[in-house]
Each structure stands twice: as C-alpha cells, then as structure tokens.
Structure 1
Amino acid sequence: MKLFPLFADLAHRPVLVVGGGDVAQRKVQALREAGAAVTVGAPALTETLQAWTDAGAIRHLAGTFTPAWLDGQWLVIAATDDRAVNAAVAQAGQAQLRFVNVVDDPELSSFQVPAIVDRSPLVIAISSSGAAPVLARRLRERIESMFDHALGPLAALSARHRARIRERRAGMANRRGFYDWLLDGPVLRLLRQGRPAEAEAALLEALDTAEAPPAGRVTLVGAGPGDAGLLTLKALRALNEADVILHDRLVADDVLALARRDAERIFVGKQPGEDHAATQARIHVLMRERAQAGQRVVRLKGGDAFIFGRGGEELESLRAHGIPYEVVPGVTAALACAAYGGVPLTHRDHAQSVQFITAHSKEEKDTLDWPALARPGQTLAFYMGVIQLGRLAGKLMAHGRDPATPCALIENGGRANQRALYAPLGQIAARAQAAGIHPPALCIVGEVAGLGPKLAWFGEVLPAQD
C-alpha cells in the first residue's frame, strides 16, 4: 500500500488553495462542504470565488504565491495551470511540513484527494494513488449506484442511539444482528421514504423487544421497456437486496441478470388465453406470504408499475394485509418507445398534449371517448393495441381523425431487436400485418410521429411503402 488512507476533520481549520480558476473553485467547494476555513491565493478569481469572498465565506490573498501564505495552514492545494508555481507550492509545503496536493500531479503531491461517495456521515473514498484518476472516478460512479442515499441518515440515527443499542443488545453477535435488521428492515425503508420520525420510532420500538421483528417487505419495481441501461439506481439496489423476485413476461433477461445471484426468481407473467384474474390473485398471495415470512420481495414489472401495470391493485392488497411496501418507478413503454423511435411525444408545432391509452379495460368494454381522441393536435400512445390495430384506427377515422395522420409502431422498444414502422393512420394496420409486427409493440398516433423517419436513431426502421 503506497498511500495511507486517512479521513481528515477540517472543520474550522485553515486550508490554503493556490489558484483562482475553475479547478480551484471545485476544490474550494469541496473544502467548504467539509467545513474548512478556506483561503484562496491568486492574482484573480472566478466570478463564483469572488462572490464567496465578498460574502465572507472564504478569504482571498491577492497576488503571486509566496511561501508565507502557508503559515498556519493545515493543508494546501495547488490548483494553478503553471507547473512552476505548483512546484514552488510543493517545495514550500515540504519545507514547512505541510501536506500539499498538486492537482493532477502525483509526483509533486504529498497527499491525494480521492473520489468520494458521500452518504454523510458515511463516506466512501476511492484512490488510484494519483496514477489513474479517471479509473477512480468510474469506480466511484459504479459504487454510487450501489449505496442508498438513505444510508447517511441511517448512520446518523445509529450514532445518535449508539449507547442505547450497546445497552439493549449486549454482545457483538447480538448487536451485529440488530444492525443487519436496521439495514434490511423498516428503518431504512422509512428513511428512504422521507419519514425520519417514524424511522426513529421503529428503531426504539425494536430496541424494547427481545428480538428484532422479521424484515419482510415488498418493493414494486418498474423494469422499463427492456434496455437494462434504463433501470434507475433505486431499481438496481432493490434487485441487489431482493430475496425473491416475482417477474412479468416482458421483463428482459438482461434486467434479471442484474439481480442478486442467489435471489429466487418466480415467473408470474400472464399468458394469452389464461385466467388473468386468477394469476393476479396468485401474485397477491405470493407477495403476502413471502413478505410475512420475512423476505424482501421485489415485484418486477415491465415498464412502470403504475401505468397499465396493475400496481395500484397490488398495493391495495398489500395495504389490506399490513405488508410494508415501496414503489420504484420505471421508464414506461410510451416514453421509451417514443425516444428510441425518434418520436417526441410533444412538440410546439404539432402536439401540446399526450394521452396514454390501453385497448383493454377491466371488463373488456370499450369506454374510450373516441370523439375526444380523434381531435388533431394531440399525441395518442396506445398500449397493447397491436391485435386491435385495425379497430383502433377505424374508430379514430370514423370520429374524424384524418387517415393521413402519421403513426409510429414500435416493436420491442428499447431492445436489440427493436423494429419501427412509420405509416399513415389509414394504412397502419395493413402495413403492420404485412411486416409481421407482434406484441410487445406500442402505437403512437399524431403529427409528431411524422418526425420519426427523420429522427430515428435506434434499431431497424422498416422501409416505407412504395
């Protein structure tokens, strides 16, 4: 180990930054966040550094560097674009026994500033000893996705009750089990939901019981349209924490591959021709039973759980049985298919509103307001409408929508096998049949779809009809 890792308490301690440019400004910002009393030495300052100086937040030494600037400083950072000046700072620091960091110059530095993941008071530092700062930054980005932002408040809460935890949970093994419960149970979940008072109450209640209660819960996670890169950081964390994953038919294998390796995967997708009500009832039972057994359940849905995903029904069932839950939104199919198909859902020249529509109501009845849907100047995104494409187009045209209205039909949106078909409303059904378009596919109707052939950037674009 070439460098000794160290976390320095700089609160109210004087620190010198030599340099007044953008790089120096970034260093000053980080030092201010650590509570340091910052002095900046430079002939001129950026507008922001000058504003901080005027406000009394930092001190400015105007002029060129002299070794006297180091007097009384705990740390020094050289952030000029002149290596001779930086070398002079480093030499003066060595003479005065000061730790000096010269930005992007490990040979002149006596300490390195790491890339950090900040979940204060929990802080994770990554260093390449100055040899590969880009690598350290990329690793920080990866680690960032793994650690919940609620871990900081959890660490602070644990510290506040540390004495009581030691008193009520005697023995290292007992305390370790309690801290595991803090990470896996309702306290972290409540902090994640912005409910700190309830989180603290749950911690105190658990301390008053002989054993920590089971940490079972359900997280509804939107898996997006298929591209694993569209998962949110919260979705990725949920997959890595799950004991069991209940997943739909449209969840891509690439998404499932990101889950914890030993998580149990249960397919609960609905198949054509089966009793969907019975399948949904089975999903409710599975969620309830697994959570009551203390497991962390992820209900993984294609797209977003709250847009034609029956997420509301599932939360109602969980609520009725007292099962704790949370929801992680996903990129819904209309947004992804439109973006990957080069179709802006709204546009100042073409559409000032957008509607998400499914052809299937709960009782399989057509209750849509077709006269309203047929009005121009709006975008319609039809989910689950491929089989009924002819009927949908016919309804719109029968109520006044122009047969020449542009349409975009995106099959397997966001996946490697995406295909996009662009055609007028009057031809879209016949063209889709001729091209062999199959579900999952989403149809976008409106003037904005006319931009698709020009703006498309992903997947295969089927040729226009001669």
Structure 2
Amino acid sequence: MQYFPVFIDAEHLSVLIVGAGEVGARKLELILKTPAKVTIVSPWVSDTVKQLVAQHSLTLHERKFEDADIFTHNMVFVATDDPQVNQHIHDHATAHNILVNVVDNTPLCKFITPSIVDRSPIIIAMSSGGVAPVLLRYLRQKLESVIPAQVQRLGRFSEKFRSEVKSRLGSVTERRYFWESVLDGDIAETVMQGNEAKADMDFANALDDFTQQDNTQGEVYLVGAGPGDPDLLTFRALRLMQKADIVVYDRLVSPAIVELVRRDAEKIYVGKAKSKHTIPQDEINQLLVDKALEGNRVVRLKGGDPFIFGRGGEELETLVDKGISFQVVPAVTAASGAASYAGIPLTHRDHAQSVVFATGHLRDDTINLDWPALVQKNQTTVFYMGMTGLGIICRELIAHGMSPNMPIAIVASATLPHQRVVIGTLTTIEELVKTAEIKPPALIIVGTVVSLHDDLHWFKPQLD
C-alpha cells in the first residue's frame, strides 16, 4: 500500500490552488464541499473558476505563482499546463513539508485525491494509486448504484444518539453489538424512510432492552473458508467474519481470506502441518470456550468445510459441554473445489455413480482404511491429507484389486492462482509428483473421471 488513506479535518485547512483552468476548477469544486479556506493563484482564470469565486467569496490572485504563496497553506494543488512550473512548485512545497498534488502527474504527488462516493456524513473514498483510473470509475459507479442516497440519514441519526449510547454502554464491544443490531434491523429502515419520530422511539426502546440483557457470554461461529479462492466464500461466512471480535484460523485458510476479516479483530493462528500441531486440538477447543466466555464473538475459520475432515464436530462437542452457543456455516469443501478447478467431475454417468472422501492421514506410518470399499467400480475416491502416504495409498489400492493403470490426479493449492495439477496412474504418480516437486496442501483424486481433465480443465493458474 504505497498511499496511506486518511481523512483530514478540513475545518482549519488552508488550501492553495495554482492554476485556474478547467482542471483547477475540478479540484476547486471538490474542496468547496469542505469548510477549508481556499486561495487561487493564476494569471489566467476560466469562466468556471470565476463563477465559483463569485459564488463563494474566494481569494483570487490573478498573477503568476510566487514562492512565498505556499507559506500560509497546509495543502497545495498544482494545475498549470507548464511542466517546469509544476516541478518547481512541487520541489518548493516538498522542501517545506507542505502536502502537494500536481494534478494528473502521480510522481509529483505527495498525496492523491480519491474517487469519492458522497453520502455526507458518510464518505467512501477509493484510490488506485493513479494506475487504473477507468477501473476506479467503474467501481465507483457500482457503489453508487448499491448504496442508497438515504444512508446519509442513518449517518445523522447515528451522530444524534452516539453520546447517549456511549454513556449507557460501557465497553466498545457492547456498543458495537448494539449499533449492529440497529443497523441490521427495522430501525435503520425506518430512518431511511424518513420517519424519524418513530425511529427515535424504537431506538430508545431498543437501547433499554439491550442494557437489560446479559451480554457477558459470547458466541462461536464455526465457519468454512472454502478451498482458498475468496470468491468461493458464502455471503454468510463473509458477514460473520466482519462481525467477529476474535478469529481463530488454521493453516489452510488463505491469506487473501484472512484479509477479509474485520480489520481490528484479534487473529489467532492455530495452524497444523503434516501431523505437527502448533496448538493441540484440546487446547484449541478450550481456547474457543475461553474467548466466548469473555463475551466475544469468535469465528473459528477452517479451510474447506468444517464438517469434512475439519474436526468441527469435536470442537462443537466441547462448546455444547460448556453451554456455549454456536452457529455453523458450511462451505465448498476442498474436494469439490479442487475437482472443479482441475476440470475433474467427481461423478459422471459414464465413469462414476458414487464418490467417497477418505483421509490419507498417517498414524504410526500406516493408513487404516476399508480398502476393499475404496476399490469399487464406477466410483471416485478422494483422499484428504494424503501426500505423505501417497505411496502407501497407491500400493494398497493395487493390492486390493484396483488396476495399476487407474488414473490419479494430485491437485495442489486448489483454486488459488498457483494451483498445480499432476496427472498419472497408480504406478507412475509418485515419481511424477517428486519430479514436479508438489508440496501440500494437495488432494488426491482416484478414478476414471480423472481422464476427463484434458478436455474439461478451464482454470488458468498464474504460474511463474
């Protein structure tokens, strides 16, 4: 993030605009939305600027820029058509630690003005750092269409009651919970409809009710993060991630998904890799209990689906024993995500009428599975956590009657930009994986459906 986004209090801001053509006029119109004091310096003034000066009683000096002009200002916009003048003012302002923006010349900008969605007092500002203005304009149009104009009423309504809520609810967490209940409910709709009297009365009742509730115990949300691509998150998962006070996440949750968690939530990593537990499962279970008993909303974020080889059931049993309330949010499981992004249907009328999920996790250097059940005809078998035991899996499948030429796929980092797929047979796959230097996380798909990969693969990984 090259540009740090901030909102500056314009109450006592003094802005100098050098240049009074149409480019300068655009910046002037933007600044005039604030209470900032504005001075304009330019030997030539466009009709638009003249009108704005007359309407707002602005200070205008119809002359060339002088070095002394900057010293009574906090911020300078440079909008001349002379590159040498622009460079000079930039250098001069920078030398005196005054924020300067040379319009349409990003390298000469110590700050940049964002694209704005204005629903004052609600302001949404976006920036591409000057590299994609058309994309930024497109995103702004999208936001303008989905954010109701009446949301400004909610902003003013929140301001009116902010002090009262702060005085009656002692903790930041309590206040946030209360405001979320207001904004998610009927009160917000009443405000946006303009029925302020009813909204005021409903708000007072809601605040009274909330202060009488027992808010000392929190809740746990067991949330599936899917196979890795953030676009595969459910709406509910994203909403709860944004509500969380604490997020407990594992190794298979991609950084891009962790980035979507509420910014000021506490994030606790409890990753596990190849039977090497950073935190034992019992301690994770107790951690969820302890954090909920402190009154927090706790999201337990798991890669894939929490109820498929995710130990979600074990964690919920502990919560039930301790009387902690919880919710479960299912997700695209890793097998479905990996198969879809590799172009391998898990079922197909000509290949497989059933699919089996199995764990390839080693215990005492063995994999204890019902091997005869895994070698049935017209069946696809998917192994989770099986890379360490890949050789054992292939040998046991062959030993129990599966053809040595059965197609097998290894899908690593499924759904992510660096996804890799290796296709072979039960007799060749070990060497192919070794040559390709495939590392976990990866899933193993066994069955004739793998032969469809060549025709059906659609996802184009961004490999180096």
> Quick check: TM above 0.5?
yes
Q: Does 1:346 align with 2:339?
A: no
Q: Distance in 1 between matches of 2:176 and 2:461?
A: 48
TM-aligned CA distance change 1:137 to 1:317, over 3 Å: farther
Amino acid at match of 1:217: E
Tell me the equivalent position of 2:215.
Answer: 213
| Of 235, 250, 272, the match for 1:233 | 235
How far 1:360 sits from its partner (Å)?
A: 2.5
Q: Distance in 1 between matches of 2:405 and 2:312?
A: 36
TM-aligned CA distance change 1:320 to 1:439, over 3 Å: same
- Describe the superposition over 1:207-226 as per-residue Cα deviations: whole angstroms up to 9, x where unpaired: 49845422511101111111
Amino acid at match of 2:455: K
TM-aligned CA distance change 1:363 to 1:143, over 3 Å: farther
User: What percent of counterpart residues are identical?
Assistant: 46
- Describe the superposition over 1:60-111 as per-residue Cα deviations: whole angstroms up to 9, x where unpaired: xxxxxxxxxxxxxxxxxxxxxxxxxxxxxxxxxxxxxxxxxxxxxxxxxxxx
Tell me the equivalent position of 2:311.
Answer: 310
2:168/2:211 contact within 8 Å kept = no
Correspondence 1:124-273 to 2 at 5 A? 138-139=142-143, 181=177, 207=209, 210-214=212-216, 216-272=218-274
TM-aligned CA distance change 1:209 to 1:417, over 3 Å: closer
Gaps of 5+ in 2: 1-137, 149-163, 185-204
Q: Distance in 1 between matches of 2:371 and 2:430?
A: 18
Tell me the equivalent position of 1:448.
Answer: 449
2:178/2:210 contact within 8 Å kept = no
2:220/2:298 contact within 8 Å kept = yes
How far 1:431 sits from its partner (Å)?
A: 1.2
Q: Distance in 1 between matches of 2:175 and 2:285?
A: 30
Amino acid at match of 2:225: A
Helix, strand or coil for the counterpart of 1:429? helix
1:412/1:440 contact within 8 Å kept = yes
Gaps of 5+ in 1: 1-133, 145-170, 189-202
Amino acid at match of 1:350: H
Q: Distance in 1 between matches of 2:451 and 2:330?
A: 29
Tell me the equivalent position of 1:324.
Answer: 325
1:422/1:453 contact within 8 Å kept = no
2:418/2:462 contact within 8 Å kept = no
Helix, strand or coil for the counterpart of 1:284? helix
Tell me the equivalent position of 1:151.
Answer: none
Q: Distance in 2 between matches of 1:271 and 1:216?
A: 30
Tell me the equivalent position of 2:379.
Answer: 378
Q: Distance in 2 between matches of 1:440 and 1:233?
A: 25
Tell me the equivalent position of 2:388.
Answer: 387
How far 1:425 sits from its partner (Å)?
A: 2.0
- Describe the superposition over 1:209-260 as per-residue Cα deviations: whole angstroms up to 9, x where unpaired: 8454225111011111111111110110011111111110111110011111
Runs of at least 4 residues off by over 3 Å:
134-144, 171-185, 206-212, 271-276, 361-367, 459-462
Correspondence 1:67-146 to 2 at 5 A? 138-139=142-143
Q: Distance in 2 between matches of 1:391 and 1:323?
A: 41
Please report the TM-score for the alignment, with normalisation by the length of structure 2: 0.56
How far 1:367 sits from its partner (Å)?
A: 3.4
Q: Distance in 1 between matches of 2:313 and 2:403?
A: 36
Helix, strand or coil for the counterpart of 1:343? coil
Q: Distance in 2 between matches of 1:394 and 1:374?
A: 12
